Amino acid sequence: MAERLTLDLSAPPSIPEDGIAAAEAVLRSGWTHRYGETLGDASEAALLEAEFAAHLGTRYCVAVNSCGSAMYLALLCTGVRPGDRVLMNAFTLAPVPGAVAHAGAEHVLVEVTPDLVIDLDDLVRKAQASGARHLLLSHMRGHIADMTRLMAICDDLGVAVIEDCAHTMGARWAGRPTGTFGQAGCFSLQAYKHVNAGEGGLIATDDEDVAARAILHSGSYMLYRQHRARPSDEVFARWKDVTPNYSMRMSNLVAAVARPQIGLLAERARIWNDRYGRLAGLLRAIPGLRLPHRPQEEEFVQSSIQFAVADLEEAAFTSFLARCRARGVYLKWFGAREAEGYTSVSGQWRYLADPHTPPGTAKVLERLCDMRIPLALTEADCETVARIVAEELAAAKGG
């Protein structure tokens, strides 16, 4: 019988015992909503914001109900208006273009390179041609572009940067955390991310007006003083009477589950990166596979791995994927003709004014495989994954 991987690769990080205890305490108290007339600034949500801001090194943090909401509010609070053009990676997940659409803006798709980062030369071309003044930059699947060069380009062109850090919590470029380069960084607490609270988002920023507006938009009513990581009352005075309440706030229950996991990020990063390194070394040794280049300046936290398969026709490639899946190695394919599960590409987003996948990006995704790395993956599991991939690739090639 053919060897099979028994571990579920889709398994999210487990909730630590102190997170379970904190959630139970919230449930027993009944204070699941983050605001209350007598709560003060010691709610679970307020504490999470302050702790994450301190962890990241930003002045402010605003907790909301999802990373999609975080990106929408970040766009709104940095000046995007209906009809504006927003630059974004052509390779990303659906909540990113969803946030642009939510803001009523027009998508400007920028190519990605074979190393799965935004193409900076194409960024210059698209910014100049479109006149866009915002970039919603996705650090897709944990791959970080040359942020030094990117910020120099955007500063020169007058383009404001919003970072989608759903896949890079704890990661850095040249020693600086992702989420601290642009006007705002947006982080995810969705179950498959680095902190698992089921759902939730965090907006990190040093801009007092962005923070105040995001707090008010998220649904603080006039209880904004119950935020710890917040601007002064003088800043809120500029915005409190002219900012709609969109009810996108985070609950205390979600925050209670998330807070204990912030302190686990370093250990989780160590495990993820160790398993990524082992898998990368094994997969690189298989003829016909290419893995993205990782620059020395990129300090990633890699909870997934990507590789491209060369020289396989579509029928053989889909057979390879199916045979790997039958043996427990679930590989996602972003280049598929139809969206499936969480994976889709820009040509499949029919709500765009011009739905298409730019040619360079289409080529990159044509045979791109994507696999989650659960924390429970062992060294032996890494070897099993590599053997299954090698055997099924050889079979697909008729070897």
According to DSSP H, which parts of 106-251 are helical?
120-130, 147-157, 208-218, 233-239
Q: In angstroms, rounded to a whole number, what is the distance separating the alpha carbons of residues 118 and 97?
A: 15
Q: In angstroms, rounded to a whole number, what is the distance separating the alpha carbons of residues 135 and 72?
A: 13
Q: Which residues of the chain have pLDDT under 70?
A: 399
- Longest pairwise C-alpha distance within the chain: 71
- Provide DSSP, 243-283: ------BPPHHHHHHHHHHHTTHHHHHHHHHHHHHHHHHHH
CA dihedral 165, 74, 192, 32 (to 10 degrees): 140
User: 208-218 and 67-77 are packed helices; what angle lies between their axes, rounded to 10 degrees?
Assistant: 130
pLDDT, residue 73, reads 98
pLDDT, residue 381, reads 98
pLDDT, residue 399, reads 59
Looking at residue 192, its amino acid is Y
Q: Is the pTM of this model over 0.95?
A: yes
pLDDT, residue 398, reads 84
Asked if residue 114 lies in contact with residue 290, where contact means CB atoms within 8 angstroms, the answer is yes
Q: What is the DSSP letter of 346?
A: G
